Amino acid sequence: MAKIEGYNFPDELYYHKEHTWAKIESEGKVRVGMNDFYQQSAGDTTYIDLPFEGDEVEQDETCGKIQSAKWVAKFVAPISGEILQVNEDLEDDCTLINKSPYDEGWIMIVKPSNLDEDLQNLYYGKTVEPWVKKEIQDAEKKKK
């Protein structure tokens, strides 16, 4: 796992510019959630508007909303496909996104429709650290 200036970014995940992550799992399914930078920046999650199982999503499409102590953020699909499952545990405790963003705090599982092409648009491997560092710099500038 990469630790970048205090933020955890597991090496096996792909990251979208809107701070969602995608994990390729068995049977071609992809698990999706919000990354550690988002959850630390946003503060405690207070509400999540989950997408609907069975819906089709396109990469870069807003498919839900997440409210925190600081703001309301859009939940953006990192890949295109059919939503097979949403994490209903988040309806009872949406702070799972904060407590465990890469495990218990996942948001949805997608059956991808265009995975190879979609992955080319995400940060992975050596591209993650420069992107995260720029996001940190940009966030610092906004605070000033």
Between residues 1 and 119, the one the model is more confident about: 119
Using CA atoms, how far apart are residues 67 and 44, in angstroms rounded to an integer?
Answer: 9
Number of H helices, E strands in the chain: 5, 11
CATH of the domain at 49: 2.40.50.100
Residue 126: the pLDDT is 95
Mark 75-84 as b/e (b = at least 16 C-beta within 10 Å): bbbbbbbebe
Residue showing tokens 């870069």? 60
Total tally of structural domains belonging to the chain: 1
pTM: 0.94
Q: What is the pLDDT of residues 67-99, one digit of tens each?
A: 998 889 999 999 999 999 999 999 999 999 999
The domain of 14 spans 2-143
